[in-house]
Amino acid sequence: MAKQFIMLFQTEILSPSNYEVTMKFNYYPETDSLYISLIEKPSTDSQEISSGIVLDFDDRGNLVGIDIDHASKLVDLTRLEAEALPINSIAVAN
């Protein structure tokens, strides 16, 4: 069974629609894809902006997630760095 890597950043910031914003990084090794969820809201539309890079939008046109295919070939998945973010908690799960 493939291991799923999830990193969660949670802040006290509220989105324009008053949803609590929780940004999650989900890596799926079986497909080598990285999904960055920006808000817990369903996607109703998607747009591929570059080969293997897809933006997901909600029903109001707000960006809710970013899907990166072949992620290990595009980004260093072994390191995550955050600068000057108002982070209240970090959770890492394997």
What are the residues facing 52 on neighbouring strands? none
**21/3 Cα distance (integer angstroms):** 25
Enter the tokens of residue 64: 């809710």
Residue-number span of the structural domain to which 50 is assigned? 5-93
In the three-class reduction of DSSP (H, G, I as helix; E, B as strand; rest coil), residue 40 is classed as coil
The share of the chain scoring above pLDDT 90, in percent, equals 45
Model pTM?
0.74
Number of domains in the chain: 1
Q: Does residue 21 surpass a pLDDT of 70?
A: no
- The answer to whether 36 touches 23, Cβ cutoff 8 Å, is yes
CA 63 to chain centre: 11
pLDDT single digits (tens) 41-82: 889 999 999 999 999 999 989 999 999 999 999 989 988 888
The share of the chain scoring above pLDDT 70, in percent, equals 77
